[in-house]
A and B are shown apart, each in its own frame.
Chain A
Amino acid sequence: MSAAADGGDDVRSEMRAFIEDNFLYLDPDAELADDQELLAAGIVDSLGFVEIVEEVEARYAVGVKDVEITEENFGSVDAIARYVERKRAGS
Chain B
Amino acid sequence: MCGIAGIVRADPGEAVGEAALLRMARSIRHRGPDGFGLLLDPGAGLVSTRLSIVDLEHGWQPLIGDEAGSVLVYNGEVYNHPELRERLRAQGVRFRTRSDTEVVHALLEREGLSGLDRLNGQFALAWWQPRRRRLTLIRDRFGVRPLSYSHRDDGGIVFGSEAKALFASGEVRAAVDLAGLDQVFALWAPQAPRTAFAGVSQLEPGGLLVWERGEIVERRRWWRAGPGQPAAEPGFEGLEPVLRDSVSLRLRADVPVGAYLSGGLDSSLISALAQVEKEGELRTFSVAFDDPAYDERAEQELVAGALGTRHHVVEAGAAEIAAAFPDVIRHAETPLVRTAPVPLYLLAREVHAHDLKVVVTGEGADELFWGYDLFKEVAIRDRHRGDPERAMELLAELYPHLGPSGARRGPGWARFLLEAGAGDDPLASHRTRIDSTAWVRSFYRDDVAAGLSVEGALAPLRDELPDGFAGWEPLERAAWLEVTTLLEPYLLAAQGDRVAMAHAVEGRYPFLDHRVYGRSVALSEEEKLTATSDKVALRRLAEELLPASISARRKQPYRAPEVVPFFTPGAPGWVEEALAPAALEAVGIWEPRRVEGLLRRCRSGRATGVREGMALVGILSTQLWHEAFVAASGDHPAETAAPAVRIDRTVDQSMSEVS
Contacts and interface: CB of A to CB of B under 8 A. Distances in A.
Given A22-B601, A25-B600, A45-B609, A71 B404 contact: no
B409 A49 contact: yes
Interface in B588-621: 593-594, 596-598, 600-601, 606, 608-611
B568 interface: no
Interface of A is mostly: helix
Given A47-B402, A47-B609, A47-B610, A25 B594 contact: yes
Given A47-B610, A69-B409, A74-B410, 12 more contacts: A22-B606, A45-B439, A45-B609, A46-B409, A46-B413, A48-B609, A50-B404, A50-B408, A50-B409, A66-B407, A70-B411, A71-B411
Contacts of A39: 411-412, 415
9 contacts: A22-B606, A45-B412, A45-B416, A45-B436, A49-B409, A50-B408, A53-B408, A69-B408, A71-B411
Contacts of A49: 409-413
In this complex, the member of B412, B442, B608, B610 whose beta carbon has the largest number of chain A beta carbons within 10 angstroms is B412
A66 B608 CA distance: 21
Given A28-B593, A45-B611, A47-B402, A69 B410 contact: yes
Contact of B410 (A21, A25, A28, A50): A50
B443 interface: yes
Interface of A: 21-22, 25-26, 28, 39, 44-51, 53, 66-67, 69-71, 74-75
A75 B416 CA distance: 15
Interface of B: 402-405, 407-413, 415-416, 436, 439, 442-443, 593-594, 596-598, 600-601, 606, 608-611
B336 to A, nearest CB: 21
Contacts of B416: 45-46
Contacts of B404: 47, 50
B618 to A, nearest CB: 14
Contacts of A48: 412, 609
Nearest to A69: B410
Contacts of A46: 409-410, 412-413, 415-416
Give the most central of A25, A45, A47, A70: most B CB within 10 Å: A47
Which applies to chain B's interface (DSSP): helix, strand, loop or mixed?
Answer: helix
Q: Which of A28, A53, A67, A69 has the most CB of B within 10 A?
A: A69
Contacts of A53: 408, 410
A66 B600 contact: no
B406 to A, nearest CB: 9
Contacts of A25: 594, 596-598, 600-601
B443 A26 contact: yes
A48 to B, nearest CB: 7
A22 B596 CA distance: 12
A13 B482 CA distance: 45
Contacts of A74: 410
Contacts of B442: 26
Residue among B413, B439, B606 with max Cβ neighbours from chain A (10 Å): B413
Nearest to B606: A22
- The 3 nearest A-B residue pairs measured at CB: A25-B597, A46-B412, A46-B413
A71 to B, nearest CB: 5
A25 B611 CA distance: 14
A44 B416 CA distance: 11
A5 B57 CA distance: 86
A43 B96 CA distance: 67
A54 B347 CA distance: 37
